[in-house]
Structure 1
Amino acid sequence: MSKPSYIKAEELREIIKNKTKVPGKDYLVVDVRDEDYQGGNIPNVINKPSDNFTDSLDALISEYSQIPKIIFTCRQSQVRGPSCAAAYASKVNTDQTIHVLKGGMNGWLRKYKDDSELVENYVEEEEWDF
């Protein structure tokens, strides 16, 4: 069982930009934002909202535990991302490395909002509709 660790935005950027790495095969980003899943996302991310994350945990493990690296994120990666990563880590029994994106999507969008390889569906925060 692997314990989640933080991954810096720059490290994830290098993985995504590395054309030899295939999303969904070599790595997977799981965004656990709920109604705040707007403003932009990492390409090829899967959205598994934290409000019902435990309900989809077994299916998530069944489908993705063979991927060597899994990265969880939420808006700030302070509560939802780390807790979902810990829940996942507590049930998966592979050599998969489990990370939480340091700074979350807020930090990611601030750094990379203008790079279409790193952000899709970008919308300025004042235009969000919760």
Structure 2
Amino acid sequence: MSTLSYVSPDALKGWLMESPNEISIIDVRDYDYEGERIPGSVRIPSDTFLASVDQHVDDLMKKRSLIVHCTYSQVRGPKAARVLSEILRNRITESKEKLSLSQKEKLFQNLPTVYILHGGFSAWKRRYGGQQGLIEYD
């Protein structure tokens, strides 16, 4: 199992500005979701994450980086990131296609990197709450 890394709000902002089509942001907040989100994020609440994430996996596998967060990224965000990383890896190992070991290794190398947003949405909002275009509202 791969080690998960954290990404800072500043680095994520840079990625959003430079290559927004290469990343996906997954917001796993539940009851604490108040209608504000990072632009372009997909909301998959942690209480339904396992049941819901599979419908997004094909699209997520096309990205270079996946950033997962909850409010503070202390429990739900890291847990969802670990689960997502495992689901992506299992998609290859459990493939019904006959793949050689080298083909599987290449697929593993091309899997998106899963990151956890350091400080979660709270840190993002604290840093960028007043800047236009960096928070979307329902």
The TM-score range, normalised by the shorter chain, is 0.7 to 0.9
Equivalent of 2:113 in 75, 83, 97: 97
Amino acid at match of 1:98: V
The residue number in structure 2 matching 1:52 is 48
Q: Find the aligned partners of 1:120 and 1:103 in 2 and give their Cα distance.
A: 18
8 Å contact from structure 1 (residues 30, 73) kept in 2: yes
**Secondary structure of 1:60's aligned partner:** helix
Q: Find the aligned partners of 1:82 and 1:114 in 2 and give their Cα distance.
A: 27
**Secondary structure of 1:92's aligned partner:** helix
Equivalent of 2:122 in 97, 106, 112: 106
Q: Find the aligned partners of 1:59 and 1:39 in 2 and give their Cα distance.
A: 22
Deviation at 1:17, TM superposition (A): 2.1
Amino acid at match of 1:3: T
Q: Find the aligned partners of 1:87 and 1:104 in 2 and give their Cα distance.
A: 17
Q: Find the aligned partners of 2:15 and 2:2 in 1 and give their Cα distance.
A: 20
The residue number in structure 1 matching 2:80 is 84
Question: Taking structure 2 as the reference length, what is the TM-score of the superposition?
Answer: 0.79
Deviates more, 1:5-14 or 1:53-62: 53-62
Larger fraction in helix: 2
Q: How many aligned positions are there?
A: 118
Residue pairs, 1:1-130, within 5 angstroms: 2-18=2-18, 21-22=19-20, 25-38=21-34, 40-93=36-89, 94=108, 95-121=111-137
The residue number in structure 1 matching 2:100 is none
Q: Find the aligned partners of 2:3 and 2:34 in 1 and give their Cα distance.
A: 28
Shift >4 Å, 4+ stretches: none
Amino acid at match of 1:44: G
1:34-92 deviation digits (Å, cap 9, x = unpaired): 12111521111110000010001222212311111100010000000000000000120
1:11-30 deviation digits (Å, cap 9, x = unpaired): 00111122xx13xx310100
Question: Taking structure 1 as the reference length, what is the TM-score of the superposition?
Answer: 0.83
> What's the C-alpha RMSD, in Å, of the aligned pairs?
1.7
| Identity score, percent | 32
Structure 1 residues 76 and 43, CA gap change in structure 2 (3 angstroms):
same
